[in-house]
Structure 1
Amino acid sequence: MILPGKFRLSDEAIDASLRAGGFGHLITPGPESLEVTSIPLRYNAENHSVEGHIARANPHWRYANGGETVIVLPATDAYVSPDYYPSKRVHGKVVPTWNYEVLYIYGQLVTHDDDQWLREHVTALTTQHESGRQKQWTVTDAPKEFIDAQLRGIVGFELQIDRVYGKAKMNQNRSPEDRSGVIRGLEQGTHSERETAAAMIAAGLDEA
Structure 2
Amino acid sequence: MYIPPHFAVLDTEALYGLIEAHPLGMLVTSSNGTLDANHIPFELDRSKGGLGILNCHVARKNPVWEELRDGDEVMVIFRADDAYVSPNWYPSKHEFHKQVPTWNYMVVHAHGRVTIHDDERYIRRNVAKLTHRHESIQPVPWKMGDAPKDFIDTMVKAVVAMQIEITSVVGKAKLSQNKEVRDIRGAGDALIAAGEHIVGEAMLKAAAEKA
Matching residue's letter, 1:2: Y
Deviations 1:130-158 (A, max 9, x none): 23222222222111211111111111101
Q: How much has 1:11 moved relative to structure 2?
A: 2.0
1:60 alignment partner, one of 25, 45, 64: 64
Give the aligned partner of residue 6 of structure 1. 6
Query: Could you state the TM-score of these two structures normalised by the residue count of structure 1?
Result: 0.92
Deviations 1:38-61 (A, max 9, x none): 111110122211111111111111
Give the aligned partner of residue 35 of structure 2. 34
Alpha-carbon separation, structure 1, partners of 2:142 and 2:82:
29
**1:179 and 1:206 in contact (8 A); partners too:** no
**1:26 and 1:71 in contact (8 A); partners too:** yes
* Distance change >3 Å, CA 35–CA 173, structure 1 → 2: same
Q: How much has 1:17 moved relative to structure 2?
A: 2.2
Total equivalences in the alignment: 205
Matching residue's letter, 1:182: A
Alpha-carbon separation, structure 2, partners of 1:198 and 1:126:
30
Give the aligned partner of residue 201 of structure 2. 198
Matching residue's letter, 1:5: P
The alignment-based identity, stated in percent, is: 37
Structure 1 stretches of 4+ with a deviation exceeding 4 A read none
Give the aligned partner of residue 73 of structure 1. 78
Matching residue's letter, 1:38: H
Compute the RMSD of aligned alpha carbons: 1.6
1:17 aligns with 2:22: no
Alpha-carbon separation, structure 2, partners of 1:76 and 1:131:
23
Matching residue's letter, 1:117: Y
* Distance change >3 Å, CA 205–CA 142, structure 1 → 2: farther
Deviations 1:60-119 (A, max 9, x none): 111222531111111121111112111111111111111111111111111111122111
Query: Could you state the TM-score of these two structures normalised by the residue count of structure 2?
Result: 0.90
Structure 1, unmatched stretches of 5+, are: none
Q: How much has 1:21 moved relative to structure 2?
A: 4.7
Per the alignment, in what secondary structure is the counterpart of residue 207 of structure 2?
coil
Alpha-carbon separation, structure 1, partners of 2:96 and 2:200:
25
1:173 aligns with 2:178: yes
Alpha-carbon separation, structure 2, partners of 1:173 and 1:204:
10
Structure 2, unmatched stretches of 5+, are: none
Matching residue's letter, 1:25: M
* Distance change >3 Å, CA 198–CA 141, structure 1 → 2: farther
